[in-house]
Chain A
Amino acid sequence: MDTSTRSSIWLDEEFEYEPQGWDPNARHVLIAEDDREMCRLLADSLREDGYEVMEASDGQHLRDYIDYLRGTIVNGRFFDVDIIVSDIRMPGASGLEVLRELRRYDRETPVILITAFGDDQTHAEAYRLGASAIIDKPFDIDGFRAFIRQLVPPSSDDLPRRAY
């Protein structure tokens, strides 16, 4: 895997919204996870499946991403992202809060929340706020990849191509 295509937002690395080598025809996934290894695991797995992956390291960075994406809204949905996967408990802002905020602008993009705190209340709250699914850790990585593939295929003729 070509690491230069990665766009990671960690405190010690540069933040880039549009790195080189970005494939405009691929489906984009935005992952927000504060555990570094977990984030890398998810991102690398989805890249293998053919997705372009953006990584956010905490709630504030996720917010920054959402702010950027607001500027790209077309027909009521973010133009530059096809799926959002977010941890719930992160420093900065809770995944649930960010979900509530982004749902004001985009009601279509699937948002998947993952969490180690799997109690009923959290699950109910997630669906109420507009999550498409909430998954308890630890989960089977292959099942996760299959789920993402089923939700939004890596490339599809149905969704509009992006023109850069």
Chain B
Amino acid sequence: MRLALKFALVFVVGMCLILTVYANHVVNREISLFQDDMRSDQRVLCQAIAPVIQSVWRTSGESQAMALIDQVNRAEHPQRLGVRWISADSSVSARAPRSSAEAAALRRGEEYTWGDRSGRGSGRLCSVIPIDVPGQGPAGLEITESLQAQVDYSRATVRKTLIATIALAVEVGAMGLIVGFWFVGRPVGSLITSARAVAAGDLSTRLSVRQHDEFGDLARELNTMCDQLAAARDRVARETAARLAAIEQLRHADRLKTIGQLASGVAHELGTPLNVVWAKAKRIAGQLEPGASADARVICEQSERMTTIIRNLLDFGRPRPPRRVRLDLREIARRTATLLGSMARKQNVAIAVSGGDTPVWTDADPNQIAQVLSNLFMNGIQAMPAGGKLTIGFTAERVRPPAGLGLPEAEYRCVFVQDEGGGIHEEDLGRLFEPFFTTKEVGQGTGLGLSVSNGIVREHGGWITVTSRVGTGSVFSVYLPGEDPHVGTDSNRGDEYGYLNEKFDLVG
């Protein structure tokens, strides 16, 4: 609205100025034309009358000439036009020149015109023409004409101009207001509203200015700008979230590393005393009578269990790089199943390893894979306290790994371990491979088994997936890369650790 007022004001003032100047110029020109006309009219009149008066004066004498002049006067209204005989040297006031200039012109024998503003009214235009008449000295005719008409005319013109100016001013002002409001004020108003909304954070407002002019363009560009701002804000929000997640992950990894170091340190310290406890318990078991001997044997078993826990803790703190050999996953699975056979039987669990006749080759560390399978088998067995069937199967096919692991689509071998246990709740599924996370009772496990297994599998370039339904059971699938076709099948290398560990079972 203020803008429209400014427009209106500017238009009106400009227009008034122009009109005033123009009117002034016109009026002045008219006046001068007017006066020129009057002047030449008077001269013409004088020149027309002069010879007549001269002739009359010569033939009939002065009084006849004066009478003629009176006659001319009577024909005209005296206020408007008057003719007078002027004599420069006359002492009669009716014949005296009005001014010294007039007298001087008469004496010079020149025509003279002047304006006389003295007296009442609007002034007069006077002309004097010297007429040579015998016996009069410098004399002539003086014509006086009122300027009233001129004044009236200019007054009328001014009045008309004023009216026109006011009318135009009003109209232009109104138009300016309307145009200013409709084409500028209103779109700008909506732009202001939108800008306020954007400043307050709402980037979803859209301007609907549909004019096909600069404001329409501006509105469209502002809408585009809002879109980009919104996109940029989303991008920043996403990047911030990603960065925060990465930082959290780093912190988590750092925490894990610290815990790992702590755990390793504790495990190291416990190794020697545990060795002594275990050995002494073994000795006692052989020396006592059956009741106490059984207790001593429990000490042995628990010591072995503690040894396993310590091994797991040490592995967790320090993952070993795999020493790969070409192996058949079926063999490892069957060997592990045999090792756990007695434990499974005690819990009424039947282990079924299906595999068909085709070997499932992969290049992997046999001890580590055995450790993984052992962990999964034990979990499966422990998930079925009332007994059930543990099914182990194999697949070999081209698979696309899950996103985010950085692994290529390629040939993979899969060992899946299926149990008929209680299943895993959905909220726990995401945390299964977290170190120290366990759904078992306190004392039943360290919560490191799956974490270590996952670490081993990832080191081999594979991954583990879990599907589970509460009440039905779970399936753990271990994916490992297929064998490298360029490497030979020299699978009998084995390693010294394997040799030692197998033969002498030094780790219990």
By a beta-carbon cutoff of 8 Å, the part of chain A in contact with chain B is: 35, 37-38, 41, 45, 116-120, 123, 127, 133, 135-144, 146-147
Contacts of B278 in A (CB 8 A): 138, 140-141
Task: Please give the distance in Å from B99's CB to the nearest CB on chain A.
Answer: 136
Contact A139 B506 (CB under 8 A): yes
Give the distance in Å from the alpha carbon of A37 to the alpha carbon of B496 in the complex: 29
Contact A146 B504 (CB under 8 A): yes
Contact B280 A138 (CB under 8 A): no
Number of interface residues of B (CB under 8 A): 29
Contact B282 A137 (CB under 8 A): no
B 293-320 binary contact with A (CB < 8 Å = 1; else 0): 0000000000100110010001000101
Contacts of A38 in B (CB 8 A): 272, 275-276
Known pairs A143-B506, A144-B506; A138 contacts B500 (CB<8 A): no
Closest residue of B by beta carbon distance from A33? B272
Closest residue of B by beta carbon distance from A121? B318
Closest residue of A by beta carbon distance from B280? A41
Of A117, A123, A135, the contact of B268 (CB 8 Å cutoff): A117
Known pairs A41-B279, A133-B500; A138 contacts B320 (CB<8 A): no
B137 at the interface (CB under 8 A from A): no
B 304-342 binary contact with A (CB < 8 Å = 1; else 0): 001100100010001011000000000000000000000
Contacts of A123 in B (CB 8 A): 497
Contact A137 B272 (CB under 8 A): yes
Give the distance in Å from the alpha carbon of A127 to the alpha carbon of B504 in the complex: 18
Contact A35 B272 (CB under 8 A): yes
Contacts of A116 in B (CB 8 A): 267-269, 271-272
Give the distance in Å from the alpha carbon of A35 to the alpha carbon of B506 in the complex: 20
Give the distance in Å from the alpha carbon of A144 to the alpha carbon of B307 in the complex: 15
Q: What 11 new A-B contacts, CB under 8 Å, besides A35-B273, A116-B272, A138-B271?
A: A37-B273, A37-B276, A116-B268, A119-B318, A133-B500, A136-B506, A136-B507, A137-B272, A138-B306, A140-B505, A140-B506
B274 at the interface (CB under 8 A from A): yes
Known pairs A35-B272, A119-B318; A141 contacts B505 (CB<8 A): no
Give the distance in Å from the alpha carbon of A118 to the alpha carbon of B508 in the complex: 16
Task: Please give the distance in Å from B68's CB to the nearest CB on chain A.
Answer: 152
B 6-28 binary contact with A (CB < 8 Å = 1; else 0): 00000000000000000000000
Contact A45 B507 (CB under 8 A): no
Give the distance in Å from the alpha carbon of A127 to the alpha carbon of B267 in the complex: 24
Of B271, B280, B497, the contact of A137 (CB 8 Å cutoff): B271
Task: Please give the distance in Å from A131's CB to the nearest CB on chain B.
Answer: 11
Of A41, A120, A140, the contact of B507 (CB 8 Å cutoff): A140
Contact A45 B279 (CB under 8 A): yes
Contacts of B496 in A (CB 8 A): 127
Give the distance in Å from the alpha carbon of A120 to the alpha carbon of B268 in the complex: 15
Give the distance in Å from the alpha carbon of A143 to the alpha carbon of B318 in the complex: 26
Contacts of B497 in A (CB 8 A): 123
Task: Please give the distance in Å from A104's CB to the nearest CB on chain B.
Answer: 24
Known pairs A41-B275, A143-B506; A138 contacts B282 (CB<8 A): no
Task: Please give the distance in Å from A14's CB to the nearest CB on chain B.
Answer: 25
Give the distance in Å from the alpha carbon of A123 to the alpha carbon of B280 in the complex: 27
Q: Which 8 pairs, one residue from A and one from B, show the smallest C-beta to C-beta distance? A: A116-B271, A141-B279, A137-B271, A138-B275, A139-B506, A138-B274, A116-B268, A143-B506
B 486-508 binary contact with A (CB < 8 Å = 1; else 0): 00000000001100100011111
